[in-house]
C-alpha cells in the first residue's frame, strides 16, 4: 500500500510534499505530481504538507478518485515525467485552480 496524489493537485502542483519524502517517491509531470507506489514506504510524512489535501492513503481514496491509484502508478513510469526531490514554486496561476473540480480531463489532452 502507498499514498496517492489525487485530482486536487492538478494545475496547483505544490511541491511542499517532496521536501519531506524520505524515499524520493514523487514524480513530476506537466500538470501534477504523482507518487511512485514502488518506492513509497507508507510513512505519511507528505500528507500534512499538501496545502490542497491532494495526498491520501490508497485504502482511503474516495470512490470518485479511485482511478488515481492506477494513474499514479502509470504516470510514475511515463516518459517525460521525472523524479522531483526539491521544493519549487507552483505554477503562476495555481491559485485559480484550487477550487476547480473535475480537472482530470486536463491530463488527457
E strands, 16-107, where? Answer: 26-28, 33-35, 55-57, 82-83
* CATH number of residue 15's parent domain: 3.30.70.20
Residue 97 belongs to a domain: no
Nearest to 68 by CA among 93, 44, 35, 98: 35
pLDDT band at residue 109, thresholds of 50, 70 and 90?
low
Domain count for the chain: 1
57-106 residue pLDDT tens: 999 999 999 999 999 999 999 999 999 999 999 999 999 999 998 999 88
The Cα 65–Cα 77 span in angstroms is: 20
Q: Is residue 81 part of a domain?
A: yes
Residue 49 falls within a domain, yes or no?
yes
pLDDT score of 107: 79
Confidence (pLDDT) at 108: 65
Write out the residue range of the structural domain in which residue 87 sits.
3-91
CB 37 within 8 A of CB 2: yes
| Residue 66 counted as domain residue | yes
Q: Is residue 78 part of a domain?
A: yes
Residue 54 lies in a domain: yes
Amino acid at each position: 500500500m502507498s499514498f496517492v496524489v489525487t485530482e486536487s493537485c492538478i494545475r496547483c502542483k505544490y511541491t511542499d510534499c517532496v521536501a519531506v519524502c524520505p524515499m524520493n517517491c514523487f514524480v513530476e509531470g506537466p500538470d501534477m505530481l504523482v507518487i511512485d507506489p514502488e518506492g513509497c514506504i507508507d510513512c505519511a510524512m507528505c500528507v500534512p504538507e499538501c496545502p490542497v489535501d491532494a495526498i491520501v492513503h490508497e485504502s482511503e481514496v474516495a470512490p470518485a478518485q479511485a482511478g488515481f491509484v492506477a494513474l499514479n502508478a502509470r504516470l510514475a513510469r511515463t516518459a517525460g515525467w521525472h523524479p522531483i526531490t526539491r521544493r519549487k514554486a507552483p505554477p503562476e496561476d495555481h491559485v485559480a485552480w484550487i477550487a476547480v473540480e473535475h480537472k482530470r480531463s486536463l491530463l488527457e489532452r
